[in-house]
Amino acid sequence: MATKGQEKTAVDKQSEADALDRMIEELQEKIRDVTQQIATLQAQENEAAVEQKKSMEMQFTILNAQLMELMGQKMEMLDQEGQ
């Protein structure tokens, strides 16, 4: 039979996993939006569009790095659960 401490730990881990899942989903949505904006800017050849595209590409890189970090945290959490 699980103790209250074990039950709380399980609930805490689930809450943490749910929070990570929500953050991952939000980042994926932002990445999709940025990708669409980059595609739209690709067709434009004026200087402002080129500069904005560079900015969006930097944002894309940052969002991808954040996503990889969160996915790494999720993997670590899953590994710990398996032990």
- For the stretch 11-33, pLDDT in tens is 777 888 899 999 999 999 999 99
Sorted by sequence, the CB contacts under 8 Å of residue 49 that are 6+ apart come out as 41
Domain residues of the chain, as ranges?
47-78
Please tell me the pTM assigned to this model: 0.80
Q: Which residues contact 79 (CB under 8 A, 6 or more apart)?
A: none
Q: If 0-12 CB within 10 Å is exposed, 13-18 middle and 19+ buried, where does residue 38 land?
A: middle
pLDDT at 69 over 60: yes
